Amino acid sequence: MVFLAGIDEAGYGPFVGPLTMGFSLWRVPDIEMDLWKSLSSSTARKPSRKDSRRLWLDDSKKVHQGPHGRSRLERTVAAFRQLLEEEQSLASWIGSPPAPSAKGLHAVPWFAEIPDPLCPSVALERARLDAAGLSRDMDQAGISLTGFGARAVPAKEWNGMLESTGGKGSANLAVAVELLRHLFTLTGDAPLRVELDRHGGRQHYARVLQAALQPERVETHAEHPSASLYSLHFPHRTVQLRFSEAADHHHVPVALASLAAKLTRERMMDLFNAWWQERLPEVKGTKGYGVDGKRFLAEVLPQLGAQGVEESCLRRNK
């Protein structure tokens, strides 16, 4: 058996709120197998309106769109979470590895207490029923989900990473490396391929992979605008990494990682907005992006002192 994994991020561009990065890890008999086909009875990229049985599994931007996007997102994540863990709390989700500790999150006032469920719109019986359908498909194909989660990086920690790594792209890659190390730990010496979405316009990753992960050798197979492929040679195994455009639309492990990252970002922004609206009810909540993110900052920044909040906890430097 071999392992196939995916990593993807959400919240790379906003002015407030955390960056989140999701991962999924699969044990498969063949690293080239078509997981879309294997899961076709329980999932679809876009089920028809009459098909309420199958889960939406695709790039999170497509699953999350429209008035029912949030409920679709929560239902899919809850089902896959149920395969590995009965516990459906948000605190357990974001406090589990590869999170370094809960200290960084709890230092931020709006994340000091995280009592809410991970997927509030999904009943436990619904998650169990959906998970049973996934299990049937997986058992028939001889595959299993062995890892699923997300790493949340609140603004203050993100700002520190920007300073220590020298830039936004490098900080994003540093978080991806954290997830890679976690995947390496979960898979031991077994063969592993990791699919990742391309980080902006970056094409060259070999040097940073060598420095961060310290394989005996990094073999570069391709570095093109569409994809960059590497083999990392360790003493007892080789790990394949592929950074490619639209990976979350082409590879099931990345699609699921994308959903994990997006839901984590959405749920944490729920807590963020609830904290501020309790104290400043005249200030409308935000997703943190673009004009609306700037509007929120303009309204809140003058009141930070009265709320006892450091600016570094709120505003992302990049």
Among 142, 25, 140, residue whose Cα is nearest residue 80:
25
**Mean of pLDDT values over 195-223:** 93
CATH number of the domain that residue 164 is part of: 3.30.420.10
- At 15-35, the pLDDT tens digits run 999 999 999 999 999 999 999
- Please tell me the predicted confidence (pLDDT) of residue 105: 78
- Please tell me the predicted confidence (pLDDT) of residue 101: 66
Give the pTM: 0.96
**Mean of pLDDT values over 217-238:** 96
Residue 173 has pLDDT above 90, yes or no: yes
- Please tell me the predicted confidence (pLDDT) of residue 58: 96
- State how many domains the chain has: 1
Under 8 Å between Cβ of 145 and 31: no
pLDDT tier, 282 (very low <50, low <70, confident <90, very high otherwise): very high
Give me the domain span that covers residue 41: 2-314
Residues whose CB falls within 8 Å of the CB of residue 67, separated by 6 or more in sequence, listed in order: none
Alpha carbons within 13 angstroms on the beta-carbon side of residue 175 total 32
- Please tell me the predicted confidence (pLDDT) of residue 198: 85
- Please tell me the predicted confidence (pLDDT) of residue 106: 75
- Please tell me the predicted confidence (pLDDT) of residue 201: 76
Give the three-state DSSP class for 220. Answer: strand
pLDDT tier, 234 (very low <50, low <70, confident <90, very high otherwise): very high
CA-CA-CA-CA torsion sign (118, 152, 313, 100): positive
Residue 56 has pLDDT above 90, yes or no: yes
The larger pLDDT score, comparing residue 201 to residue 126, is at 126
90 class by beta-carbon count within 10 Å (0-12 exposed, 13-18 middle, 19+ buried) = buried
**Mean of pLDDT values over 199-217:** 92
Under 8 Å between Cβ of 130 and 82: yes
pLDDT tier, 71 (very low <50, low <70, confident <90, very high otherwise): very high
**Mean of pLDDT values over 143-148:** 98
pLDDT tier, 102 (very low <50, low <70, confident <90, very high otherwise): low
